[in-house]
Structure 1
C-alpha cells in the first residue's frame, strides 16, 4: 500500500472513531420548559381559612378531605381541590348570593400541605441516596444530584436520563453527569421544574464502563 493510501486510511479511521465518540451535545434538544409560576392550586389535606365578611357564622377553618371536597354551611359539599383560592372564593360567593345580598368571600391557604407532593423533583437509580425533594426555582440537575449524595460507584453518569412531563406527554433528555462532574461541561446541567425525575442506570461491563 502506498504512503498516500495509508494516510487516507488512517484519516478515515480517525473520522469514524471520533465520530462515534462524539455525543453531539450541541445538537440535543434542550428540555421543554412547561413550568410557569402561577397562583397556588389547592390540594388534598390543605388547610383553608374561609372568611365571609361580616358573617362569622359562615366563616371557618377547614381541611380539604381526601375526596377533594370541603363542607360549608348552607351549601353542603364544595369541591376545593384543583381550584385556586380566588376561584374557590368566587364559587362560594355565587352560592351565598341566594341568602346574602353581596357576600364578600376570602379564601386563604393557611397550611399548604399538598405542595410538598405537587412540587417535587426526584433522583432514582444509581445515586448514593435516592431522594425526593421540594422544588425550588432555579434548581439544576447538579443540585438534585448533590442532594442525592452524588452518583454511586456503579452509576453510569453519562447515560443519565431526565424525565419531564410536557404538553406532548413524558419526554426523555440525556444528561452527561460524568462530563459535568469531571470536565466541567455544564451543557446538560439543565434547569429543573416540578415533577422532573432523574434516573441514573447501572454501569455495563459490555460498554466498558467498569
Structure 2
C-alpha cells in the first residue's frame, strides 16, 4: 500500500511540473518574433495635438501696415492663414470679418479674434505671429543711387543702408553724412554724424550705428 501511495504522489508531482512548464511556454513571448511593442508616449502626442500655451511673439511689439501676419486657429485650417496688413491697417478673416490690426500687439489681436470666433467655435485657440516686419522702415536721401524708403530688416547699420541704396553718386560728401533720429517724446530730431571715410578705414567704427524705425540717413 505504501508503494502505491508513493507512486501516486510521484505521478502527481510530474503532472504539476509538466503543466507549469507548458503554461510558461505559452505565456512567455519568444525573443525573435513576438516582441511586445514599446508603449506609446502620451507626452509626444500631447505636443502635436494640444496647442502650446507659450505664444512665440513679443507682447510689446506693435503691428504696422504691410506687416505679414500668420494667424493660426487650432483645428480650423479654413480660417488659419498668412495675411498682410493692408495700407488702411486692417485685415479680413472668415467668420471674423474686418479687424483693425495696425497699432495693436499680436496678443491684443489674438484676443479679439478669439472673442469673435466664440460665436461659432467653442473655446477657440488663436495664435498671431508676425512673420515679416514691413512696417519698420528707414529713409536714405541725397547723393545715393537709389534714395527712398527701405524696410528695416534685422540689425541694419548705416553702411547697410548705403549699400541698400546702391552706393554714392560721384559728388557725395562722404565725410559729412548724418542721421536724423526722431526724439522718443516727439518734438524735434537728434542729429548723428557719420564719416564714411573713417569708418571704412576702421576708425570711429562706433559711428556705424544700428538704424531704428523712422531714421533718415542724409548723404549731402
The interval holding the TM-score normalised by the smaller chain is 0.5 to 0.7
Shift of 1:199: 0.5
Post-superposition shift, 1:48? 4.8
Q: Closer, same or farther in 2 for the Cα pair 1:141/1:95, shift >3 Å?
A: same
Q: Secondary structure at the match of 1:158?
A: coil
The structure 2 residue matched to 1:165, chosen from 182, 187, 192, is 182
Structure 1 counterpart SS, 2:175: helix
- Counting matched residue pairs gives 160
Partner of 2:168: 151
1:123 to 140, 152, 161: 140
Q: Partner of 2:13 in structure 1?
A: none
Aligned twin of 2:107: 86
Q: How large is the RMSD of aligned CA atoms in angstroms?
A: 3.5
2:125 corresponds to which of 78, 100, 104: 104
CA apart distance, 1:101: 4.4
Higher relative contact order structure (alpha carbons within 8 Å, sequence separation ≥ 6): 1
In 2, the alpha carbon distance for the partners of 1:47 and 1:156 equals 37
SS of 1:157's partner is coil
Does 155-164 or 80-89 show the bigger shift?
80-89
Residue 125 to residue 56, structure 1, CA distance change in 2 (3 Å): closer
Aligned residue in 1 for 2:195: 176
Calculate the TM-score normalised by the size of structure 2.
0.55
Distance 1:91 1:159 in 2: 49
Counterpart Cα distance in 1 of 2:94 and 2:88:
18
Q: Do residues 197 (structure 1) and 216 (structure 2) align?
A: yes
**Cα deviation, residue 75, structure 1:** 4.6
Q: Deviations over 1:112-170 (max 9, x none)?
A: 4xx33x23333211224435444343432223223434433322223222011331333
Where do residues 3-18 of structure 1 align in structure 2 (5 Å cutoff)? none
Measure the CA separation in 2 of the matches of 1:49 and 1:150: 35
TM-score (norm 1): 0.57
User: Compared with structure 1, are the counterparts of its residues 101 and 85 closer, same or farther at alpha carbon in structure 2 (3 Å cutoff)?
Assistant: same
